[in-house]
Amino acid sequence: MKNVLLLFTLCFSSFLIGQQTESKIISGTITDGRAPVDNVTIRISDKAANAVSDSNGKYRIEAQTGDVITYSYQGLKTVRIRVEDVTRILNITMVPDIQELEEVTVEASKRRSQKDLKADYVINKNIIRTAWGFLDAERASGNIRILNEEEINPISLCILDLLRNRFPGVQVTGSCLTGATTPGIGAVGNLPLQIGGQVRIRPGNSLTSALPAVFDIDGQIFTDTPIWLDVNRIKRIAILNNLATTASYGNLGAGGVVVINTINGSPNNNDFVDRARLKNNYADGKELSRAEVATNAPTYLKEFMASSSFEDSKAIFEKYHKIYSNSPYFLLDAYTHFAEAHNELDYADTIIEDNFQPYTNNPVLMKALAYTYESQQRFEMANEAYKEVFILRPNYVQSYMDMANSYRNIREPKQAASMYARYEYLIDEGFLELDTIDFGPIISREFNNLLMLERDAVVDKRKAKKLFIAQEEFNGNRLVFEWNDGEAEFDLQFVNPENQYYKWKHNMFDSPDAIEREKDFGYNVKEYLVDGSLPGTWQVNINYQGNKSLTPTYLKATIYYDYGSRTQRKEVKVFKLTLKNVNQVLFKLKSSSRVAMQ
C-alpha cells in the first residue's frame, strides 16, 4: 500500500483478466412505491439468466460484476441496473410508464430567446446550433432529427459512414475511401475522379434528381461533403429537411441541411448560467434543518450527542458495541463522535483499527472512511484509504482523480500530477474511456488548477515557463459533490439569495441514462460554480431517496472559495444520508451567485 503506483499495473491487469469470473447472488424486493409487485421479469442482458418476482415482490438472480440487470413489467417503466463490485441487494421501485406533468402554466408565448437556448445547450440534447442561431427540436416547426455524441459510432471513417443507415429517408452515396461511382458524375468508367460522396435528404424521382444536402459545421456552410471531418470530434448532428427549418439557407438549403456541432465549436462550460433564476420556482422554506434531521438519528447517536463527558461516551459505546459490533456504520459514527466531540483521536482510531474487518475489500465503505478523514483534515489517513479504493477499483476513472487530490492534500503535487498523467495515458491507450459529458471536464479542471497554482512544484522551473496552462475564466466559489454509493438517488436543490432555486435530479426516474453512464465510466461526482454577481447567502438542500438497500449513503461536499486564485482555499463537509423523501438543509454558503451546471 506504500507504493500504489508500482502496484497499479498488476492490479489493473488482474482486473482485466478476472473482473467477471465470479458470480454472486443479487436479491431484493420490487415495489411500485406502495405495494410489492409480483411477476416482474428480471433478466441479465446478453445472457440466458432470468427470474421472476414472487407474490411478495422478492427475487434472486445470479449475476457478475459488470452485468446489466433489466426489470420489466407491462405498464411500468423498465429499470436497468449495472452490477458493481459491492452489489448484493437491489430493492427496486418501479413507476408507471407514462409522462406526468407536475404543473401546468399558461403562458402568453412558448418562444424562447436565443440567450435561453444557448444557456440550455449543454444540458438539453434537443438543441442544435446553426449558422442562423439555435434551434430546439422540441419547439421548432417541423421535424428535426438529432444524433448526440454518445450515439455516434467512433469507428466510422468519415461523415458518410456515420450518416449511412442512421436516419430513415436519408440517402448516402460514395465512400470515405473510393468516392462516388455513379456513372457520368465525376467518374471515368469505374474509377472515381473525386474522393467523397453526397447526402440526399429530400427524395426526388431518381437518385440523380434529388438535390444534395449542404453541411452547416459550427456555423460555416459547406456544399461539398466534409469527409475530412473527424467524427470523434462531433458533439451533435441534426437533419433539417423541411422549409420551416431550412428557409434561412435560401437556395443552398433546397436539398436539406446536415447541421454538425463539433466539441470545440459548441457552447462550452465557460458560459456560466444562473439556473436558479427561473420563473415560478421559489423555495417553500419547508426543508428540515440539520437539528431536525438529527432527531431522526438512531438511539445510540442521540445518547452520544447528549453525553457530557468522554467517560459517559465510552460507556455508551461499550453498551451498543455488543449489539452493533458488525455494523461499519455504527463504528464510523462512534469514531466520528470521539474524534470530533471529544478530540480523543487515539481512542477513535482504536475503534476502527480493532474492528476493521467490515471495511476490508469494500470500496464503498472505504470511501466513507476516506471522506470522514478528509473532513477532519487527517489527510495522511485519507490518502491511505483512497489507496485501498484505488487498488480495488483501478478501472474507475474517479480513482485517479481521488488519488491525485489526495496527494495534493498531503502536499505531494508531483505525485498528484503523476496520477493525472497516468489517467491521460490510459485514455490515450484505450484502457480507460473518455467521458466528455460529465467527468472529463471535471478532471480537466482539477488538473489545470493543480498546474496553475503549483506549477513550479510540479515541473522544473526552467520548463515551467514553457508549460501551457489554460486560464480559469471563472471567478467565484466552486462546489464539488461526491457520493460513496453508486446506487444513491437524490435531488440537490440550490436556493439563491432571492429564494429562487435550481434543482438537479439524480434518480432512476428522471436521469436513468446519466446514472448508467456514471457506472459505465466509474465515477460519482458533480460540480457547480457559484460566481459573484448576486451577493448574499445560498442554501443547498437535498432530498435523499435511498440507495436500493437499507444502508446509509455518505455525501462529500467540497467547497472551494476564490477558486482559481492565489487565495484559493477549500472546506470539506460530509453528510450521512439516511432520512428519505424529505427536503433537508445541507449547508449555507455566503457568496455571490449564479449556479452553473457542468
pLDDT digits (tens, 9 = 90+) for 75-111: 899 999 999 999 999 999 998 886 554 554 444 444 5
Which carries the bigger pLDDT value, residue 133 or residue 349? Answer: 349
C-alpha distances in angstroms, 403 versus 127, 312, 397, 522, 562?
A: 36, 38, 11, 14, 23
C-beta of residue 536 within 8 angstroms of C-beta of residue 497: yes
C-beta of residue 318 within 8 angstroms of C-beta of residue 285: no
Instruction: Read off the pTM.
Output: 0.72
32-46, 333-347, 391-405: which range is least confident on average? 32-46
pLDDT of 178 strictly over 70: no
Give the burial string for 503-513 (b: 16+ CB within 10 Å, else e). bbebbbeeeee
256-270, 281-295, 350-364: which range is least confident on average? 256-270
Going across the sheet that includes 92-93, the strands are: 58-64, 23-31, 92-93
**Which of the four CATH numbers 2.60.40.1120, 3.40.1350.10, 3.30.360.10, 3.30.1130.10 does domain 4-93 have?**
2.60.40.1120
Q: What is the mean pLDDT of residues 265-280?
A: 60
Cell of 544: 435523499
pLDDT score recorded for residue 206: 40
Percent of the chain with pLDDT over 90: 53
Nearest Cα to Cα of residue 486 among 508, 471, 504, 469: 508
pLDDT score recorded for residue 189: 40
pLDDT score recorded for residue 268: 61
C-beta of residue 450 within 8 angstroms of C-beta of residue 412: no
Give the bridge partners for 573, in sequence order: 557
Please tell me the CATH superfamily of domain 114-262, with its number: TonB-dependent receptor, plug domain (2.170.130.10)
Q: What is the mean pLDDT of residues 247-274?
A: 79
pLDDT score recorded for residue 117: 85
Give the burial string for 10-42 (b: 16+ CB within 10 Å, else e). ebbeebeeeeeeeeeebebbbbbeeeebeebeb
Q: What are phi and psi of 317, to 5 degrees?
A: -60, -45
Q: Whole-angstrom Cα distance, residue 398 to residue 20?
A: 20
pLDDT score recorded for residue 437: 80
49-58, 259-268, 330-339, 581-590: which range is least confident on average? 259-268
pLDDT of 570 strictly over 70: yes
For residue 75, count other CB atoms closer than 10 A to its CB.
Answer: 9
Q: Whole-angstrom Cα distance, residue 95 to residue 92?
A: 10
Q: Whole-angstrom Cα distance, residue 179 to residue 156?
A: 15
DSSP H/E element including 338: helix 328-340
Helix (H, G, I), strand (E, B) or coil at 484: coil
70-79, 138-147, 419-428, 560-569: which range is least confident on average? 138-147
C-beta of residue 149 within 8 angstroms of C-beta of residue 234: yes
Mean pLDDT over each residue of the chain, to the nearest integer: 84
Task: Sketch the domain layout of the chain as residue ranges.
Answer: 4-93, 114-262, 275-293+474-598
What string of H, E and C letters represents the secondary structure of 504-544? EEECCCCCHHHHHHHHHHCCCEEEEEEECCCCEEEEEEEEE
pLDDT of 18 strictly over 80: no
For residue 242, count other CB atoms closer than 10 A to its CB.
Answer: 15
pLDDT of 199 strictly over 60: yes
Using DSSP bridges, classify how beta strands 569-577 and 553-561 pair: parallel, antiparallel or unpaired: antiparallel
Going across the sheet that includes 553-561, the strands are: 569-577, 553-561, 476-483, 525-531, 595-597
Q: What is the mean pLDDT of residues 510-517?
A: 90
Cell of 380: 495522511
pLDDT of 21 strictly over 60: no
Nearest Cα to Cα of residue 598 among 456, 420, 474: 474
Percent of the chain with pLDDT over 70: 83
C-beta of residue 561 within 8 angstroms of C-beta of residue 568: yes
pLDDT-based confidence at residue 114 (cuts at 50, 70, 90): confident
